[in-house]
Amino acid sequence: MKKSAKIAAAEIKKLREKTGASVMECRNALSESGGNIEKALEYLKKRGNEKALKKAERKTSEGVVATYIHSNKKIGAMVELLCETDFVARNVEFQELARDLAMHIAAMNPKYESVEKVPQIDREEYEEIARAEIASEKKPAEIVKKIIAGKTKKYFSDISLMSQAFVKNPQISVGNLIKEKIAKIGENIQLGNFARFSI
């Protein structure tokens, strides 16, 4: 019995190191997933998304402005990251997130915050370009429609901040990174304005 308790403690520690979740959350996740670390990670990810959705309506009237300047001094970015309280705005992890987002913006040059916020005129312009690209292929109208929808989604996903693969960890999107931080820090976090500068 003592041996299994030690194994459980070691698994909890391992899961905590991977996720930063609390001891109780890690214990629950391992319990729900029968001790399987991979399943426990999925469980925590799902719970994190649920928590983020619940917090998404809360007012964000605090936050920080962070900057990143590349070592060549020719590329830089500025980002406004919002939270609910001054206490979280002073939190080191929150401030690191803001700086990481500024660095990502400098590196990846997103044109839009999210696919949902792409102006309709820009979407229609790209659809026309995509339609012209496949016009010579003589495909049925329904297939053409699906191809254009797929190309449009991919194009705007690649240049929208929230759907881009996070530059420091391409396994996660920027949007999911923010959701994870919401779950961990316990406050609503929203992206404000951002800008990239280059010479």
The mean pLDDT value for 4-29 works out to 68
Structure tokens, 56: 């998404």
21 pLDDT above the threshold of 70: no
Neighbours of 50 (CB within 10 A): 12
What is the pLDDT of the chain when averaged over all its residues?
84
Same-domain status, 81 and 150: no
CATH number for position 13: 1.10.8.10
Quote the CA–CA distance of 70 and 57 in Å, as a whole number: 35
CATH number for position 184: 3.30.479.20
* Tens-digit pLDDT profile for residues 132-177: 888 777 788 788 889 899 999 999 999 999 999 999 999 999 999 9
Same-domain status, 184 and 108: yes
Same-domain status, 171 and 94: yes
Does pTM surpass 0.85? Answer: no
Structural domain containing residue 30:
2-55
Non-local CB neighbours of 91 within 8 Å, separated by 6+ positions: 185
